[in-house]
Amino acid sequence: MTGDLLGAISAWLRAALTQNLGLKALSLAFALGLFVYQKGQQDQQQRTVPVGVVMRLPTENAKRELMTPIPASIHVTLKGSTRAIDQLLQAGVAPVEIDLRDGQRGSVVFETRMFTLPPDIEITIIDPPSIDLEWQDVVTRQIPLQASITGKPADGYILKGEPEVDPKEMTVRGPVGLVEVIQYVRLAAFDVSGLTEGTYRRPIAIDAPPNRVSYIGPRSATVTATIARRVSEARFPKRSIEVVGVPNAVVTPRQVDVSVIGPPEVVRALRAEQVVPRIDLTKIEGIDLKTHGSISVKVVVEVAEAEAEVQPPTVTVKW
């Protein structure tokens, strides 16, 4: 009984191993392939890495400026085996190159063919997938130079008029949208602290241009500032004219208006009786005061440390 059972088992095993060998070999190969595939799938991974961006821009002669800021790198998600991705990162991912030399492209679309990768690595995501581009023409304009003043002159003195700049204009080059809004090319401030009466000339540095804009020419300009005494003005209306040299002379008009201009402390202390318009006929050559006559003559007002203006400046004297 036991011998028959062993014989049956042996016969079954012999049949199982020898019958349908082709089908069994195919099944074994399929099983091995499935195992290898599953093992490979378990080793696959995705990794996001930065990839540099290299731009080839138009030459200066093209007179085109790219206004859109382009990132130094974009992010690319890679899919492949851990070993392949590690080897790629160790060797370094080649940057993607963008040819913008024509200065006309409206956008850049990143495609997988633009990247240099091993065949066993694929790209699944590119971020950003595209970039819109803005261009402007590059123009050249002449822009006025503008000086500024800092500090205060010495007591009793003021800046007379506006500072003068030489040269008066600067050549400015850049994108049309930036150049057209520049009203002045500014200079560093001219310091007048403690200055007294006189004319002062200094080379003053020109401020740095805005981003994307360049200045063509010298990096400094000569600024001239004039310092004068601080003055005040006082009016003394209807002051009677005093005639020297002929008694009972007739003056037309007999009164004039006088404006005195000078240091504030001098003008403030001046009284009306000190402002005397005079005509000295004895100092006029070519007239005979012993006979009747008439003459148009300038009225003089003498004020110490100040100047006087008379209206009208001349009158007629008869004697």
* pLDDT, tens digit (0-9, with 9 covering 90-100), for 198-253: 999 999 999 999 999 999 999 999 999 999 988 899 999 999 999 998 888 899 99
Which residue reads 């790209």 in tokens?
123
Confidence band of 20 (pLDDT split at 50, 70, 90):
low
Which residue reads 């003394």 in tokens?
236
Q: What pLDDT, in 10s, does the model give residues 278-307?
A: 999 988 888 888 888 889 999 999 999 899
CA 132 to chain centre: 25
Count CA atoms closer than 13 A to 87's CA, side-chain side: 10
Sign of the Cα torsion 174, 178, 181, 182 reads: negative
Residues 6+ apart with CB under 8 A from 218: 167, 206
Asked if pLDDT for residue 94 goes beyond 70, the answer is: yes
Confidence band of 12 (pLDDT split at 50, 70, 90):
low
Q: Decide: 94 and 88 in contact? Cβ < 8 Å.
A: no
Quick one: pLDDT at residue 165? 97
Q: What distance in Å separates the CA atoms of residue 286 and residue 288, rounded to the nearest whole number? A: 7
Strand partners, 131: 108
Q: What distance in Å separates the CA atoms of residue 215 and residue 172, rounded to the nearest whole number? A: 5
Quick one: pLDDT at residue 78? 95
Helix, coil or strand: residue 270: coil
**Apex CA 26: angle with CA 20 and CA 30, to 5°?**
145
Structure tokens at 294: 């008439």
Quick one: pLDDT at residue 243? 93
Residues 6+ apart with CB under 8 A from 258: 235, 236, 237, 239, 275, 277, 301, 308, 309, 310, 311
**Exposure string (b/e) for 254-287, b if CB count within 10 Å is 16 or more?**
eebebbbebeeebbeebeeeebbbebebeeeeeb
Choose the weakest-confidence range: 15-24, 64-73, 275-284.
Answer: 15-24
Structure tokens at 117: 């990768």
Q: Decide: 221 and 187 in contact? Cβ < 8 Å.
A: yes
Q: Decide: 207 and 188 in contact? Cβ < 8 Å.
A: yes
Q: What pLDDT, in 10s, does the model give residues 154-211?
A: 988 999 999 999 999 999 999 999 999 999 999 999 999 999 999 999 999 999 999 9
Residues 6+ apart with CB under 8 A from 52: 72, 73, 93, 95, 96
Choose the weakest-confidence range: 5-9, 38-42, 249-253, 274-278.
Answer: 38-42
Overall size of the chain counted in residues: 319
Structure tokens at 114: 């633009």
Q: What distance in Å separates the CA atoms of residue 142 and residue 170, rounded to the nearest whole number? A: 6
Quick one: pLDDT at residue 6? 66
| Proportion of the chain above pLDDT 70, given as a percent | 87
All structural domains of the chain, each given as residue ranges with its CATH number in brackets, are 42-133 (2.170.120.30), 137-229 (2.170.120.40), 232-318 (2.170.120.30)
Asked if pLDDT for residue 119 goes beyond 60, the answer is: yes
Nearest CA to 110 among 65, 67, 75, 72? 75
Q: Decide: 150 and 195 in contact? Cβ < 8 Å.
A: no
